[in-house]
Amino acid sequence: MANVILPSGDTVVVDGGDLLAVLKERGETAAAVVVDGQLHDVRDPLPSRGDARAIGLDDPAAIEVLRHTASHVLAHAVTRLYPGVKLAIGPAIAEGFYYDFRFPAPINRDDLPRIAEEMAKIVAEDLPIERVWLPRNKAAALLAEKGEAYKLELLGEIPDERISFYRQGEFIDLCRGPHLPSTGLVQHFVLLDLAGAYWRGDATRDMLTRIYGTAFPTREALAEHLKWREEARKRDHRLLGPELDLFSIQNETVGAGLVLWHPKGAAVRHEIETFWKEEHYRAGYQLVATPHIGRARLWETSGHLDFYKDGMYSPMDIEGQEFYLKPMNCPFHIAIYKTHTRSYRDLPIRYAELGTVYRFERSGVLHGLLRVRGFTQDDAHIICRPDQIEDEVLACLDLTLHILGAFGFRDYKVALSVRDPEHTEHYIGSDAMWEEAERSLVRALERKGLPHIRMAGEAVFYGPKIDLHVLDSLKRSWQLTTIQFDFNEPERFDMAYIGDDGQAHRPYMVHRALLGSLERFFGILIEHYGGAFPAWLAPVQAAVLPVTEAEIPYAEGVAAELRAAGIRAEAWTKERKTLRWLIREAQVQKVPYMLVCGAREAAGGAVAVRLRTGEDLGHQRVADVVTRIKGAVTSRGASL
RNA sequence: GCCCGUGUAGCUCAGUCGGCAGAGCACUUCCUUGGUAAGGAAGAGGCCGUCGGUUCGAUUCCGACCGCGGGCUCCA
């Protein structure tokens, strides 16, 4: 006898375990059952005693089940339409689901409506979804008979002797579940995309066809999701970049993955850089500048030529010496450190640089500003004593939260990546160093009040790290800040400081980037703001718009006055366009302040102020407008 | 690199079932002196991604190559 809380909130006592019948009797539906925090099928036998909770489709925990079942409905439809198709895997993912297939002949996007139609039929048929347990040999025989080679491979990796399958109508699939009780519950779904995907993500194995889709419990939630996708598409920095004349990437003339910052993009970059430099000086960093190339021996010493050669460009011959374009700034910063004998009193030393590096990326992975071949890291290396490390990490967190906050990023997720405890031999540095480093990272996070997820085995070989992910205005997650211990290079470069005991000691080095790279960060910023930058970042902060030709000199005077006050202002006087045209152009360019100059304004030393938001502030004295804009700029706030 | 899609004017895209290439925006000139999201007219602009094949004839059909877009484990 089990007590079951139903989706309606009522509690019933289910005898004999037939929950489905009870639900039907009461006119309720359930997606799954939660027992001891685990999701189970509604059809599963209930525990002999204790409590269970049947959850409805709209329960947040049910969405994965819904989407997983949707992927089965997809696979079912595909097997009906394309005899001979082979099934691979079909999980629920963060925003929906996918299923990987090997089709007998290539399909394309135009096939998706047909498949979706077939899915709708399967939903309308409301087929019961039942779990079938087979002994291993029967499971293997079934899959072999169906020629499901990929499934057989998966079967080989399942340790159990009892193998779980799910059956709906004539379709049966190896699957661990759980699933909805019937196909009729997958009402609101859509197929979105088609893409290639390697079997098991391995480039040496078969290329499969992946079909992406998503499903929601209600029509409204699905519609909202599609709207969100549309909004994200409109904010795509690769669309907005050319549209707002911010940057270009010209493969034919310049090269793939190499970014040209146009005047307007460069204006934003200048603001980012200025702010960044000021804050770093304030936080006790010293700015350095280092060259773009360096001798091969530098990269031999650092180990890059051993571990990272594939990511580096070919060497160039300069007077018989090999030089490489730099993929990282660290060796140069270390070289500066080593120009003196350092005392424990000198530490911590914090070298910061907006350092431009070049890394080889395969052409297929290049993506707008987010994945490029030449980029400027907002890099810094903190060289310190072991007893200083915790405070240094804390100071890094303070600085990055302050800087990211200024760009409107206030939601964070933090990941702490540490060694794989099973394979400590894959990592450089002593156990004591790793433990102390992790302790100081955790303590710094705790002092900052930042919850984090600990990821064992995610650390790079040379040290543990903290990665900060921010959520943008569309709640999308981007990894920006990384704070990494480096046990490798201090060793390789034989870095030292003289302690109070008069002996040489090995310093700790922390490598950190807060924004990641200026290129990538700019791309994220464009999408975060949808191109409508706050006043302090806006490439053109104010457009001065004359109503008629008569006001052109006045408009130019106003713009000059604003520029003298340090505001990026332009008088739009090169062409005699109607005011309507000028306003529209300023709106499209997302200029925050539009200052209209007509005869009335020109007569009184005023402008009529229109904000990008559409708000009309009416007549304002020019001096007051300057004060307002300066205020918005210096506060680096979002309001205009 | 690999799978699917795609490549026509500076930009966004039509189009040619094989017969001298089209629109809107932008650009140039002229008219218009216009008060809060596009005033009107005319003009200029193309090796239809590149190379090869089929053909009397290819931007169109076929092949190769190049570029671009989406994607390439969030694991039955």
Q: What is the ipTM of this complex?
A: 0.86
Q: How many whole angstroms separate alpha carbon A96 and alpha carbon A107?
A: 21
Compute chain A's Rg from CA coordinates.
Answer: 30
Q: Is the CB of A610 under 7 A from strand B?
A: yes
User: Mean pLDDT across the stretch A633-640?
Assistant: 91
Which pair of structure tokens corresponds to residue A376? 């400027």
Nearest nucleotide to A236, CA against C1' atoms: B69
Query: Which residue has the closest alpha carbon to B72 C1'?
Result: A197
When the pLDDT of each residue in chain A is averaged and rounded to a whole number, the result is 90
Which whole-number Å values give the CA distances from A176 to A47, A55, A156, A283, in the listed order? 19, 19, 14, 52
Nearest one of A199, A224, A223, A222 to A209, comparing CA atoms: A199
Of A residues 543-582, those with CB within 7 angstroms of nucleic strand B are: 547-550, 575-581
Nearest nucleotide to A150, CA against C1' atoms: B76
Q: How many whole angstroms separate alpha carbon A263 and alpha carbon A574?
A: 18
pLDDT at A215 over 90: yes
First-to-last CA distance in chain A? 64
Nearest nucleotide to A202, CA against C1' atoms: B72
pLDDT at A397 over 80: yes
Of A residues 84-123, those with CB within 7 angstroms of nucleic strand B are: 89-91, 93-95, 106, 108-109
Tell me if A384 sits within 8 A of A344, measured CB to CB: no
Q: How many whole angstroms separate alpha carbon A592 and alpha carbon A633?
A: 11
Q: What residues of A are annotated to the active site?
A: 330, 359, 377, 379, 381, 465, 511
- Of A46 and A504, the structure prediction assigns the larger pLDDT to A504
Query: Which stretch of A131-140, A250-259, A479-488, A559-568 has the lowest confidence by average pLDDT?
Result: A250-259
- Distance B11 C1' – A271 CA (angstroms): 29
Tell me if A145 sits within 8 A of A184, measured CB to CB: no
Q: Classify A412 as helix, strand or coil.
A: strand
Confidence of residue A1 (pLDDT cuts 50, 70, 90): low
Q: What is the pLDDT of residue A66?
A: 94
Q: How many whole angstroms separate alpha carbon A299 and alpha carbon A328?
A: 10
Tell me if A355 sits within 8 A of A329, measured CB to CB: yes
A275-311 pLDDT, tens digit per residue, is 999 999 999 999 999 999 999 999 999 988 888 887 8
Q: Classify A430 as helix, strand or coil.
A: coil
A401-437 pLDDT, tens digit per residue, is 999 999 999 888 899 999 888 888 888 888 888 998 9
Peptide bond into A135 cis (omega under 30): no
> A426: burial class by Cβ within 10 Å (0-12, 13-18, 19+)?
exposed
Q: What is the bridge-based pairing of β-strands A162-168 and A171-174?
A: antiparallel
Helices and strands (DSSP H and E) totals, chain A: 19, 33
pLDDT at A133 over 70: yes
Phi/psi at A97 (5° precision): -155, 165
Q: What is the bridge-based pairing of β-strands A92-93 and A86-87?
A: unpaired
Q: Which residues pair with A325 in a beta bridge?
A: A293
Query: Which residue has the closest alpha carbon to B33 C1'?
Result: A548
Nearest nucleotide to A175, CA against C1' atoms: B76
Confidence of residue A11 (pLDDT cuts 50, 70, 90): confident
Q: How many whole angstroms separate alpha carbon A116 and alpha carbon A109?
A: 12
